[in-house]
Amino acid sequence: MIVGIPKEIKNNESRVGMTPGGVFELVKNNHKVYVQSDAGEGSGFFNQDYQQAGAIILDTIGQVYAMSKMIVKVKEPIAEEYELIQEGQILFTYFHFASSEALTKAMIKQKAICIAYETVEDDEGTLPLLTPMSEVAGRMAIQQGAKYLEKPAKGRGVLLGGVPGVAPGKVLVLGAGVVGVQAAKMAAGLGAHVTIMDISMKRLRYVNDVMPPHVTTEFSNEFNIRKHIKTHDLIIGGVLLKGAKAPNLITRDMLKDMRPGTVIVDVAVDQGGCVETTRPTTHEDPIYIIDDVVHYSVANMPGAVPYTSTMALTNVTLAYVLKLANLGWEAACEKDVSLKKGLNIVEGTVVYQEIIEAFCWEEVIA
C-alpha cells in the first residue's frame, strides 16, 4: 500500500503522524511511504531521517494526498485539506466528528474511509489510541493551569503547592478517566489539594486506592459541582463520552459563583467541551476571560510537546497502520473488532451511531 504522511497545518500543530521508526516498519513490510517535506521537523524528525528509513520526500501536501492510498495524520483535516481527499482514500487520524458538523459533512461529501483514532476500542472498553494523548493532555493541564493561575496571566495569584504557613491551592478534576487521573497525579505531585469527581464508583474506588491522602474523591452531580467551584482555584474538565459530544457540567450561570481569577482548563474541548462557555483556542492565543474566569481550551494541547506526543502516538498507532496496509481496510476491520469500531464514515455513509445522535440526524446525510 502507498501510505502518505502530510505536514499538519492546524494552528501551532507540530506533531507528525509517524516517526521514522514507523516508516521503517512499513517499508520493511514492502509498502511505499511518502512524507511531505519538513512534516516531522516540529517533532525533531528531519527529511534525512525519513529518507534513511526508506521514505520518499514530496514537496507539497497536494502531492502526498494525490499519490497515497492511505493518509496517516494526527489531527482532523481542516478546510484547506477537504478537496485534497479522494473518494475511497483511507484517512487514519483523530477526527472528533461529534464536535464539528462541518467536518462531518465534508468527509461524507469526499466519500473517504474515515477511521478515527479516538473510537478504536479494545476488548476491555478502553481507547488505546486516545490514551497516550489523554495522558499527555492530563499532565499538561496542570502545567498550563498552574501558569495561568499567576497574576500576570489574570489568574488568582495562587501557587498550587503553597509554602510553609500558606495552604496549597485547590484543584477540582471533573472525570476520573485517563485525563483526570493524570491531572490529579500531577497536581498531587505539586502538593495541591485535589478533589476528583466522577459518576463511576468503580473509578472513584480506584483513585482512592492509588492516590495519596490529599486527593479526595466525590460523586459527581450538579449539587456537588456547584459546591466545589466556589472554593477551588483550578478546574480541569476531563470528561469523555466515547465518540459523542461532552456534557456541559459547568454552565454559564455557574461562573458567577467562582472567585475572580479561577482557571478552567477544559481538556474535553475536542468533543465540544464540558463547560458551556468553552470554545476552541490555539497555542498562539490560548486563553480568554468570561466573568473574570480564565478559560484555557486549546484543542491540540499535546501539540505543544510534539516530540513526546509523536513518539507516544506512534507507539500505539503503528500496529493498526500495519494491519490496514497489509490487509486493506475491509479485511483489517473484519479481523480486528477494535479497529472496526474506529470506522466512523465509509464512502459517504456515517457508520458510527454517536455521530448521528450528536447532530440529531434522523438518518444519514449523503
Q: Which residues are catalytic?
A: 96, 270
- The rounded distance, in Å, linking the Cα atoms of 272 and 98 is 8
Rg for the chain, CA atoms, rounded? 21
Give the number of other Cβ atoms within 10 Å of residue 113's Cβ: 22
146 exposure class (CB count in 10 Å sphere: 0-12, 13-18, 19+): buried
> Within a 13 Å sphere around the CA of 232, how many CA atoms are in the beta-carbon half?
25
- The rounded distance, in Å, linking the Cα atoms of 354 and 76 is 18
Show the cell assigned to 88: 475511497
Measured in residues, the chain has a length of 366
- The CA dihedral of 165, 167, 168, 169, to the nearest 10 degrees, is -140
Helices (H), 111-170: 131-148
Report whether 12 contacts 41 (CB < 8 A).
no
Show the cell assigned to 106: 465534508
- The rounded distance, in Å, linking the Cα atoms of 329 and 115 is 9
Distance (Å) of CA 45 to CA 22, 51, 347: 12, 11, 33
Helices (H), 43-115: 47-53, 61-67, 79-82, 101-110
Task: Find the helix or strand (DSSP H, E) in which 92 lies.
Answer: strand 90-93
